[in-house]
Amino acid sequence: MKLTGHLIIGANDAAATEGTMKALNPATNQLIEPDFALGGVADVDRAATLADEAFDCYSHTSLARRAAFLDSIADNLDAVRTELAARAALETGLPEAQLEGETAKAATQFRQFADVVRKGRFLQLAVDPAQPDRQPRPRMDHRLQKIAIGPVAIFGASNFPISYSVAGGDTASALAAGATVILKAHNAHPGASEIQARAIRKAVQEHGLPEGVFSMVRGSGNAIGEALVDHPLVKAVTFTGSEHGGMALYRRAQQRPDPIPVFTEMTSVNPTFILPHALATRGAQIGDGFIERMLVNVGQACLRPAILVAIKGAGLEAMRAAMVKRVTDASARTMLTPAIHASYSNGLAAMANAGARLAAEGSASNADFDGRAALLEVDGQRFLAETVLAEEVFGPSALLVSVKDEDELLAVARSLKGQLSAAMHLEESDMQLAHRLLPVLERRTGRIVVNAFAHPQEVTFATVHGGPFPATSDSRFTSVGMTSIERFLRPVAYQGFPDALLPEALRDTNPLGLPRIVDGQ
Amino acid sequence: MKLTGHLIIGANDAAATEGTMKALNPATNQLIEPDFALGGVADVDRAATLADEAFDCYSHTSLARRAAFLDSIADNLDAVRTELAARAALETGLPEAQLEGETAKAATQFRQFADVVRKGRFLQLAVDPAQPDRQPRPRMDHRLQKIAIGPVAIFGASNFPISYSVAGGDTASALAAGATVILKAHNAHPGASEIQARAIRKAVQEHGLPEGVFSMVRGSGNAIGEALVDHPLVKAVTFTGSEHGGMALYRRAQQRPDPIPVFTEMTSVNPTFILPHALATRGAQIGDGFIERMLVNVGQACLRPAILVAIKGAGLEAMRAAMVKRVTDASARTMLTPAIHASYSNGLAAMANAGARLAAEGSASNADFDGRAALLEVDGQRFLAETVLAEEVFGPSALLVSVKDEDELLAVARSLKGQLSAAMHLEESDMQLAHRLLPVLERRTGRIVVNAFAHPQEVTFATVHGGPFPATSDSRFTSVGMTSIERFLRPVAYQGFPDALLPEALRDTNPLGLPRIVDGQ
């Protein structure tokens, strides 16, 4: 596929209205061809208008047709896997093999959502039949289904340029819900974004769906994102990225005349607690595994375990030594963008200023945007005194917090803000402490992992990729997994309807054979 | 029960810290004994601290114990039904018999939520077992349950002093979710609030639950509500009332360092569309039924049908005549508060200024706060030109909008903001127009009713009492019905847990026998 650099506004390849940009290869610090169009408020308005016009038709597509459309997106992604991975590698410095895997995962996700759509459980159908003879007054027939909330604006993330970007889980779950999508491409990988957008648009056309089902816009600075969040026809927003960026969008949307739901997935240090018997038994193995996982994607992953908490005692030195070794052995690797690289350096300096000591560093490099691995350490008392030590430093660093006893370990846990995940490493004989720690973690995290490092991400019914603020802006939802579709659905009740006027899924004979709760059963 | 006028802060009967107030009998414009304590920021802080301390214990109560607690609240409400209705009647001017019915409904609602708790479906349990042999890599065991979001602040409404107040659906669903509750009592019915709060607290004590499970505060002006919304230990808010009040709380909560979910149910004109054949066949009957429903609770109900839209033609005059007669025959009745009475008068004046003509008035009265029924009318063109005509005027008034044809009827529907409900009156031969109107209503309302007036409210699995802004602040939820519990729940995933550490509901043998989705089935 030849990249043209256009915006994808429905069926239209739209030229630049606000200048152009080029992608940067962060490994070489060189710009890459071609020019990519930058758009503005007028482009957002066209995309939103199309998305609104397409909504009634698309949100009422049959489940079979919508599922087939999602399957076609998966097929179209498979068809461009090689060139998508190659382009994404150029634009991100990530390994091509990893990006091929990411494309495969993204395609799988569309197929999984096709299955969710076919099964129809997400409609949450409920039927409460009329009770004409009920005393003291009859009951009307009530039926409920969920429908899509409206056109959705999705902000692509930088760190996983496919599975959290244009063809990521947000797009898959929104389209599965029956919402139309306006994607705001991340400027760190415009070529990879275009390839994905074209794969999605091809499926829209193959299935004869209205063009406004999917558009992709791009712009410089914040104006394009603000225009999306402000647009009266946009009814929900999702974002994955920094707390600063996410909260700016979130607060802006809440100041609209009609506030809309904004789900932002932002920041997490994914604290890992090593309980004493696990530490004594297999400290070195845990330390090694922790750093291995921390280094994935050059530390630029939402589930990166960044903080490890252990009680001083048997095994701590062995664990620390394994961490030091693994960090020291790590080569510097290209970070995603110059801005992330700069922010990583600043973050490490802030940690040092707050009293974290440097325990080990990876090898250095001469490349401009290579991130050098770092292991910092601090004791529990210092950690509790310096809130900056609990902040995320996006990149390949970890902080080892050694605490003096169980109470200090619990105090560290209680001091933490909301997290996407937490982990406990434990043996049978640690169970008493685990039972004390568990409720503390439940209140602060969306997922809790035992004896593993929460990677790789599974996309299942039991997946939660969410958590209390600031991990996300609304802990009631997840942005990954089959139930992430709930962000884009709202209930509608139909009372006293003649059968012929009811949505098919709610008719008396249940013609679609979908699961329904009837009279509470 | 002798009213003491205290704040109910956990187990403590708390004295006034910010002065006292008395209740007003709006029928006589006389103050009623006793003095009621007013609290402030310090009282909110004590209640929130207790609610937070109680949370770990209460949110982990067994389903059986929590359900028994909810049943006891129901029993305790039944036990005070007569005195509660008598006091509420004095404070609201509403009929005692209606308020006895409201108490019975509130008690029933607690029993229904006890049943929801026992059945455990709200936990949305999902189990994705480990797949140790999966290629290319094994899958960990993943399990999901929902847990309560944290302590919840609930603002009692004025218009239904029991079922939407202290012992209303918000309290029932929050306690069912496992959340602890801080209730902000409405100052329009302090005595009725105290009776309900004591009934709930009695159940807390009967079941040996921590005192912070339930508190009730009260204050003058906005300070107490602001303190609740600002308090860092409060993790969600619900409110039923005016758009002005609801949005002030909503926007304030979104400006917290950590924004929290706020569900506000605010305003709705519940538009009713009379399709031509229904109009021709039974115009008079529809007009009469519409006004009868409009007058319920002196027009002070969230589901009051306030706007009726019909196409000029056969039956319109008969319908209008029936509306005029029913309004003319209506006696003036006491409104809930002086403020609501004043706002009703101002609202009618604003409608007249915008070109609505007075078609009929009910009889007048000399009482200070009696609301006089009113029927206004306007044509479709004028309605479309004056947005103020689509605003809610809380009280016993209705607006008849006569449109010239089907397209103008659809244009009126499209011009409407979000609504709690809409209704269509139709005959078999109106089905074509109904199919055009339905998607317009689906996008704008949470419930759609055919050939009825959406009253009385049912509390079932298929109930939706919600809708797009400004009907509520988040169309993805309902504030009435069994699924209203979802406002207070968030998912937590447990990965790789040893069986003994898992929450009971997620253990291998499913010891509680609850419904679970296993591997997506």
**Which tens digit of pLDDT belongs to each residue from B181-219?**
999 999 999 999 999 999 999 999 999 999 999 999 999
B221 Cβ under 8 Å from any chain A Cβ: no
**Is B57 a known active-site residue?**
no
A260–chain B nearest CA distance, Å: 7
Write down the mean pLDDT value for chain B. Answer: 97
Return the pLDDT at B167.
Answer: 98
Question: Nearest CB to B474: which of A137, A261, A486?
Answer: A261
SS3 content of chain A, % helix, strand, coil (to 5): 45, 20, 35
B206 Cβ under 8 Å from any chain A Cβ: no
Secondary structure (DSSP) of B245-261: HHHHHHHHHHTSSS---
The list of chain B residues with pLDDT below 70 reads 454-456
pLDDT per residue as tens digits for the range A365-404:
999 999 999 999 999 999 999 999 999 999 999 999 999 9
Q: How many other C-beta atoms can be found within 10 angstroms of the C-beta atom of residue B2? A: 4
Q: What is the mean pLDDT of residues A2-28?
A: 97
A142–chain B nearest CA distance, Å: 6
B137 Cβ under 8 Å from any chain A Cβ: yes
Q: Give CA–CA dist A454/A435, Å, rounded.
A: 20
Q: What is the mean pLDDT of residues A440-461?
A: 90
Question: Cβ of B475 and A452 within 8 Å?
Answer: no
Question: Cβ of B492 and A448 within 8 Å?
Answer: yes
pLDDT above 80 (res A456): no
Residue A455 pLDDT class (50, 70, 90 cuts): low
- The answer to whether the CB of A382 falls within 8 A of the CB of A399 is no
Q: What is the 3-state secondary structure (H, E, C) of B452-505?
A: CCCCCCCCCCCCCCCCCCCCECCCCCCCCCHHHHHHHEEEEEEECCCHHHCCHH
Write down the mean pLDDT value for chain A. Answer: 97
Return the pLDDT at A26.
Answer: 97
Closest CA to B475 of A474, A147, A469: A147
Region of A210 on the Ramachandran plot (φ > 0 left; ψ -120 to 50 alpha; else beta) = beta
Question: Cβ of B448 and A128 within 8 Å?
Answer: no
Active-site residue, from B211, B302, B361, B392: B302
A22 Cβ under 8 Å from any chain B Cβ: no
A261 Cβ under 8 Å from any chain B Cβ: yes
Cis peptide before A232 (omega within 30 of 0): no
Query: B residues 391-420 near A, CB within 8 Å?
Result: 417-418
Half-sphere exposure of A161 (CA within 13 A, CB side): 32
- The answer to whether the CB of B114 falls within 8 A of the CB of B64 is no
A268–chain B nearest CA distance, Å: 14
Q: What is the mean pLDDT of residues A249-264?
A: 97
What are residue A185's phi and psi, to 5 degrees? -70, 145
pLDDT above 90 (res A219): yes
Query: A residues 48-77 near B, CB within 8 Å?
Result: 55-56, 60
Return the pLDDT at B1.
Answer: 81
pLDDT per residue as tens digits for the range A291-350:
999 999 999 999 999 999 999 999 999 999 999 999 999 999 999 999 999 999 999 999
Nearest chain B residue to A131 by CA distance is B458
Return the pLDDT at B521.
Answer: 87
Which residues of chain A neighbour B252 with C-beta distances below 8 Å? none
Nearest chain B residue to A122 by CA distance is B520
Closest CA to A34 of A3, A6, A8: A3
SS3 content of chain B, % helix, strand, coil (to 5): 45, 20, 35
- The answer to whether the CB of A6 falls within 8 A of the CB of A208 is no
- The answer to whether the CB of B407 falls within 8 A of the CB of B435 is no
B318 Cβ under 8 Å from any chain A Cβ: no
B461–chain A nearest CA distance, Å: 6
Alpha helices (H) in A398-486, listed in sequence order: 406-415, 431-444
Cβ pairs bridging A and B (under 8 Å):
211
Question: Cβ of B489 and A476 within 8 Å?
Answer: yes
Active-site residue, from B18, B194, B211, B265: B265
Nearest chain A residue to B419 by CA distance is A492
A255 Cβ under 8 Å from any chain B Cβ: yes
Return the pLDDT at B453.
Answer: 83
B149–chain A nearest CA distance, Å: 8
| ipTM computed for the complex | 0.97
Question: Cβ of A473 and B443 within 8 Å?
Answer: no
Question: Cβ of A463 and B142 within 8 Å?
Answer: yes
Which residues of chain B neighbour A234 with C-beta distances below 8 Å? none
Residues of A designated catalytic: 265, 302
